[in-house]
Amino acid sequence: MTPCANPWNAVYKLASNKTKISQTMTTLQKPDSSLTSDLNETMKVMIEHLTPNDEQSDDTDHHKRIGTLSTEPIQTADDRDYTPAEVKNARRPKPQKKRQGRWHYRRNIPESINNSLHLFTQYMMSV
């Protein structure tokens, strides 16, 4: 591909913040030899070409074993459930080192989320 026809050049320039003017994604040639007509179609063709289909028939024994292990819960000899006190202690807000803004938004928002999360956690542990 020539530098002008490579659509990834625009992506790299955008990611590195080196664009000088707005870049338009170029068209690509589809497998049926037609050209893409818009950005959505171009991105769809790129995704279909660059990402393979995940078919279970192609998996080796190693892949099947890893898939099985990733879905099973891990059980170790010293596993135990967290106590409500441990959960509450982990969510306790850290002491403020500086004054946090005019209306203390940074402090109040996490506290309200923490209180809601505490009630939700208590409910989930009681079910």
Residue-wise pLDDT for 65-116, tens only, equals: 888 888 888 778 788 888 888 888 887 766 666 665 555 555 566 666 767 7
| Residue 27 · residue 36 · CB < 8 Å | yes
| 105 located within any domain | no
pLDDT at 34: 92
CA distance 99 to 96: 7
pLDDT at 109: 64
| pTM of the shown model | 0.32
| 44 located within any domain | yes
pLDDT band at 8 (very low <50, low <70, confident <90, very high): confident
| 20 located within any domain | yes
CA distance 37 to 1: 19
| 14 located within any domain | yes
| 122 located within any domain | no
Contacts of 114 (CB under 8 A, 6+ apart): 91, 92, 93
| 78 located within any domain | no
Domain extent at residue 13: 8-50
Closest to 117 (Cα-Cα) out of 91, 84, 89: 91
| 42 located within any domain | yes
| 67 located within any domain | no
Summarised one tens digit per residue, pLDDT across range 38-69 is 888 888 888 888 887 878 788 889 988 888 88
DSSP code string of 26-64? PP-B-TTSPBP-SHHHHHHHHHHHHS----GGG--HHHH
Closest to 37 (Cα-Cα) out of 48, 19, 25: 25
Domains contained in the chain, number: 1
In this structure, the chain runs to a length of 127
